[in-house]
Structure 1
């Protein structure tokens, strides 16, 4: 068995906008030439600004939308070659957690029906067996089985996300993809859901692919991180290597933007200016050249490719850049008191929301 569970090769997705009888449509390059290899059992994170193509890539990985070019290979099987019936059978092994835990649940269905639907579609279990399996899944994600006859609007945001996770686990998947699975939740609830995903990953032997904006969440739970910019991966590395020694100027700017709750902790950091170019009109050469303080003539004319090795970066000058000025927490220099508070908070969130006394 290969240690690569999911692979993409030159994956692209283009959308047409403004099509009309006398108008030429504008082509949006949402994902452009992405090649990734995700290892079995790891937590793989994809980060970047809003509009960089993260969510589109996540949907391409499960073929919720079809690619314009390239291919997705799951466990040795090219998904783009499968018929609709074959793809439906394969979906039992690949599940998705959507960003909004309310709109992704059918408001007319009870929790029992929502969680039990994958069992009805992908298994031959009888009604009583499905009901028992739903109750077991609810317990595993921290919900009481007697809530099974309630509707989604009767639950809090964190509880609804737990329902979404239980539904995703129902078919016994090997791969779980979460598109901003905690972004719509309160901070304390985010910690509970992150811990829940980690526990379930260990229990079920899952491979997780997580899309997120919160870099603290990413550092806490991921093994490797891919940084996307304007539809392309510009840096890919192990989590600690990327957070402590980022090589791409865009990654450095993302990490420098992390808020620092220490007086004077933000001094010396360079804040990224300007807006991301339109994906309908990407710049020639390096996509980041219009905002990069280190851009030269070659950056404006020649597109860089990802370097080889364990730390991949798409930048012409990454080896000549000055060392980044990162927040203290990112650089790994938390005080002993901060480390102690973090350890207490981590233990408290294992069994519920931490109290004010715990995190003082």
Structure 2
């Protein structure tokens, strides 16, 4: 079963890929709804999207238009109207499970080269005006079909229960660490936030998978009744991570990574936010025996404890982190 897809010549990831499943609630006062997640996979360009329905009287779509900057996501909530619920209630539940609805949704997107074009206003009126000027040849279109299902809403409620002991945690984070040169780090600090994010994204595209150290973090929910015997739910804590170490790499260009190995301890806490504290550590020098790598070796020798920095990518942002600060910490 395909759960996500990206269109041809597009950077927009759709989850789900082709089919929108609407669970029918047992309570007649509730309306079926479904969430469509859109993610911009481009490291450089913005993606403008809109979601259209064949029958606007049967469904409400929020939001209908949106702007996704590089690496960001948005959720589109599609809700069935009351007259649609009445029509579905008169049908045999077995027919709902086996028959595909005639309702269709169309997701249209356009990729904008952010560095060369002026910044687009993300307001609803500005985006509607933008789409009036877009030629159809430049659009990417994805058609979504609908299916209604009975008897699944109780399972969804269990997964989204407010009790963390009953809830199935599907959240997670991935942290990737790699070394960059001190000169490149200094250049990044001089850029504004938008340009720095774009430059870091470009830097990652130059790094091979072997030059990165990736760690997946799972999320565990727990109850904390230590405060006056209350049933306050403590926020989720990121678990299952003790150490992250960077792997060796070689210079391939003036902006590529510098070879070194680093071991750093990330400690998780039980505060309202998960805090990872990075302590300073010496960077051992790795020098190859091949004479053709003299330039790499010389640069590695100069990459001492005070001459290293890393890039850290969390679930929704990118940052450069300087290891020379003993009190440095960052938040996810």
What's the TM-score bracket when you normalise by the shorter of the two chains? under 0.3
Structure with larger Rg = 2
Report the structure, 1 or 2, having the larger helix content: 1
Higher relative contact order (CA 8 A, sep 6+): 1
